[in-house]
Amino acid sequence: MDYALLILTISLLAAAQIVQKQASRQFLGAASLPRALRALLCSKSFWLAAVLLALALSTWLATLSLIEVSTAYPLLGLSFVLTALLSRWLLHEEINLRRWAGIGLISAGAAMMLVA
């Protein structure tokens, strides 16, 4: 149950990034910035992203009440890997070896910082 919450948090964070990318399409080909901002605030994807982020914060706080921060936080670094996988599958982004290597290093660094 406790690790399920952690996995849920990681998934929510990754999903929020994908949905924010969808929301950002409001800016493509928009006539002006104020108009695009208005369109963004009226878009479903913007509010879905906000809800996903709020849910991620809630599940994260709940996770912290069940698992120690030093164990939970490094695993949160997995959100970088999951986000990259999702952006490849759902948004068809091309991720070269170098980018994968960087993402791996960042996750490893996040783990090292918080295992202290």
Q: Which of 5, 15, 46, 75 binds other proteins (CB under 8 A)?
A: 46
Binding to other proteins by CB under 8 A, coded x per residue (else -) over 92-111, reads -xxxx-xx-xxxxxxxxxxx
Binding to other proteins by CB under 8 A, coded x per residue (else -) over 15-34, reads --xx-xx-xxxxxxxx-xx-
Structure tokens at 8: 């849920």
Start-end of H helices in 43-96: 44-64, 69-76, 78-89
Helix, strand or coil, per DSSP, at residue 1: coil
Nearest to 9 by CA among 76, 108, 66: 76
Q: Does 69 bind other proteins (CB under 8 A)?
A: yes
Rounded CA gap, 93 and 38, in Å? 27
Q: Which is nearer to other proteins, 7 or 102 (CB)?
A: 102
Smallest gap from residue 77 Cβ to other proteins (A): 8
| The CA-based dihedral angle spanning residues 61, 66, 71, 72, taken in that order and rounded to the nearest 10 degrees | -30
Structure tokens at 29: 């080909």
Q: Which residues would be at the binding site for other proteins (CB under 8 A)?
A: 17-18, 20-21, 23-30, 32-33, 36-37, 40, 46, 49-50, 53, 61-62, 64-65, 69, 80, 83-84, 86-88, 91, 93-96, 98-99, 101-116
